[in-house]
Amino acid sequence: MALIDFGGKKEEVITQREFPMAKARKVLKDEVIAVIGYGVQGPAQSLNLRDNGFKVIIGQAKQFKKDWDRARKDDWVPGKTLFDIEEAVECGTIIQLLVSDAAQRAIWPMIKSKLKPGDALYFSHGFSIVYKDQTKVIPPENVDVIMVAPKGSGLNVRRNFLSGAGINSSFAVEQDYTGRAKERCLAVGIGIGSGYLFPTTFQQEVYSDLTGERGVLMGALAGIMEAQYEVLRKNGHTPSEAFNETVEELTQSLIRLVDENGMDWMYSNCSATAQRGALDWKPKFKKATLPVFKELYERVKSGKETARVLSACGRPNYQAELTQELEAIGQSEMWRAGQAVRSLRPKTSAHKITKSTKGISGRGSN
């Protein structure tokens, strides 16, 4: 492991310098990786593993025709590399359980019945294991239980792999039956294209992940954008102006400066007026949102958010309800304005990467 200073705290991370691809292939040379679910993470991780030379098969329920057909379009061959879930589990030695959290609970009894001594049960999220009282996902003692959690959607796991950038991932070992759980975990982590891997636990991963998704990464970001857009529109600003000041400048300019060298560097490369205003208003936004984040974390930690996910996502009509909710966002004035703004952007290499990424969907799973 490499020891890296993260803001004064040293942490161990693993890159391909410490764990090269050749070592990963050697560790997994006798393994068959069965990727269960071809929805969000499944396509990205399986395609990256296949491109890197690992033995991979897909387990996908045929009744989810969209995902089955997408797997076939990605050159997974029925009866050879594409199977129903039950058969894939029987054939695999590392079982990547990449269906949705609610679906994991639903199919777990069948998965458990097909596991063999020495298999590795792999997750990309700590949800089912940490909240086992609610999910009932309790692995037998004779298997390894491991996790590699990419810090991005399946779309970006694949896109970053194709561009050569890689994506950062956390990893954890919950149960080591074979004595090889950690090296199997790291080998798969390198195989899916991780830029670097940092250690965590199943519990820490799910607490941070659920908080982040509901907070800054998705929920808070969308809510803050809608609030600012609404204020601008109600004060007479056009949809184009409101969208550009709320979303476009953030995603196309400022966040890229943060990505390059940090928030302070972004501030130092803006006008003095913008810089002063940002520094003055940052504490106000922190004070306003800190109680919300504290409430959010406690709900995650207590399992209330888990209960909400399992209750809502497990409903038979959930996909139809989800489609309506997402369409309401997409058809709102702000995001219709966004469609118009994006259509005016010059075509870039990033656009080409997106268009050439095959077999990846940013939404939906079993």
What pLDDT, on a 0 to 100 scale, did the predictor assign at position 134?
A: 94
Query: For residue 285, is pLDDT > 70?
Result: yes
What pLDDT, on a 0 to 100 scale, did the predictor assign at position 347?
A: 74
Cα 307 from Cα 327, distance rounded (Å): 25
Query: For residue 364, is pLDDT > 70?
Result: no
State the burial class of residue 114 (Cβ atoms within 10 Å of its Cβ: 0-12, 13-18, 19+).
middle
Token pair of 82 as six digits: 């594409």
Q: Which domain holds residue 72?
A: 2-200
Give the closest residue to 58 by CA, choosing from 45, 31, 76.
76
What pLDDT, on a 0 to 100 scale, did the predictor assign at position 73?
A: 96
pLDDT (average), residues 102-129: 96
Question: Are 257 and 141 contained in the same domain?
Answer: no
Question: Are 295 and 327 contained in the same domain?
Answer: yes
Question: Are 106 and 218 contained in the same domain?
Answer: no
Question: Are 172 and 79 contained in the same domain?
Answer: yes
Q: Which residues pair with 13 in a beta bridge?
A: 2
Mean pLDDT across the chain, nearest whole number? 92
**Is 363 a member of any domain?**
no
What pLDDT, on a 0 to 100 scale, did the predictor assign at position 30?
A: 96
Question: Are 191 and 245 contained in the same domain?
Answer: no
Question: Are 17 and 159 contained in the same domain?
Answer: yes
Cα 18 from Cα 1, distance rounded (Å): 6
Determine the residue type at 177: Y
pLDDT (average), residues 263-269: 94
Q: How far apart are the first and last CA of the chain?
A: 36
**Is 208 a member of any domain?**
no
pLDDT grade for 365, boundaries at 50, 70 and 90:
very low
Tell me how many domains the chain contains.
2
Query: For residue 240, is pLDDT > 50?
Result: yes
Question: Are 193 and 324 contained in the same domain?
Answer: no
Last residue of a domain, one of 144, 176, 200: 200
Query: Position of tokens 């309506």?
Result: 324
Cα 1 from Cα 15, distance rounded (Å): 8
**Is 361 a member of any domain?**
no
pLDDT (average), residues 246-258: 94
Last residue of a domain, one of 177, 200, 223: 200
What pLDDT, on a 0 to 100 scale, did the predictor assign at position 311?
A: 93
* Per-residue CA distances from 127 to 130, 207, 306 (Å): 5, 9, 8
**Is 206 a member of any domain?**
no
Query: For residue 261, is pLDDT > 80?
Result: yes
| Residue 366 or residue 130, greater confidence | 130
The string of pLDDT tens digits covering residues 185-196 is 999 999 999 989
Query: For residue 234, is pLDDT > 50?
Result: yes
Last residue of a domain, one of 200, 223, 253: 200
* Per-residue CA distances from 193 to 51, 158, 172, 201 (Å): 10, 8, 17, 20
The string of pLDDT tens digits covering residues 298-312 is 999 999 999 999 999
- For residues 70 and 38, the answer to whether their CB atoms sit within 8 Å is yes
pLDDT grade for 152, boundaries at 50, 70 and 90:
confident
Cα 365 from Cα 309, distance rounded (Å): 14
Cα 5 from Cα 219, distance rounded (Å): 30
What pLDDT, on a 0 to 100 scale, did the predictor assign at position 352?
A: 43
Question: Are 164 and 272 contained in the same domain?
Answer: no
What pLDDT, on a 0 to 100 scale, did the predictor assign at position 356?
A: 35
Query: For residue 87, is pLDDT > 50?
Result: yes
Q: Which residues of 194-232 are buried (b: 16+ CB within 10 A; e: fewer)?
A: bbbbbebebeebbbbbbbbebbeeeebeeeebeeebeeb
**Is 100 a member of any domain?**
yes
**Is 362 a member of any domain?**
no
The string of pLDDT tens digits covering residues 344-362 is 988 754 444 333 333 333 3
Give the closest residue to 119 by CA, choosing from 199, 184, 54.
184
Question: Are 49 and 169 contained in the same domain?
Answer: yes
**Is 153 a member of any domain?**
yes
Q: State percent of the chain over pLDDT 90.
A: 85
**Is 205 a member of any domain?**
no
Q: Write down the pTM of the prediction.
A: 0.87
- For residues 338 and 243, the answer to whether their CB atoms sit within 8 Å is yes
The string of pLDDT tens digits covering residues 1-45 is 788 888 778 888 998 899 999 999 999 999 999 999 999 899 999
State the burial class of residue 322 (Cβ atoms within 10 Å of its Cβ: 0-12, 13-18, 19+).
middle
What pLDDT, on a 0 to 100 scale, did the predictor assign at position 348?
A: 57
Cα torsion angle, 293, 313, 88, 138, sign = positive
What pLDDT, on a 0 to 100 scale, did the predictor assign at position 129?
A: 96
Query: For residue 332, is pLDDT > 90?
Result: yes
Query: For residue 363, is pLDDT > 80?
Result: no
Active site residues: 125
Find the CATH number of the domain harbouring 13.
Answer: 3.40.50.720
| Complete DSSP assignment for 241-296 | HHHIIIIIHIIIIIHHHHHHH-HHHHHHTS-HHHHHHHHHHHHHHHHHHHHHHHHH
Find the CATH number of the domain harbouring 306.
Answer: 1.10.1040.10
Question: Are 99 and 173 contained in the same domain?
Answer: yes
Question: Are 124 and 262 contained in the same domain?
Answer: no
Question: Are 284 and 347 contained in the same domain?
Answer: yes
Query: For residue 70, is pLDDT > 70?
Result: yes
Give the closest residue to 45 by CA, choosing from 111, 124, 101.
124
Cα torsion angle, 234, 237, 243, 244, sign = negative
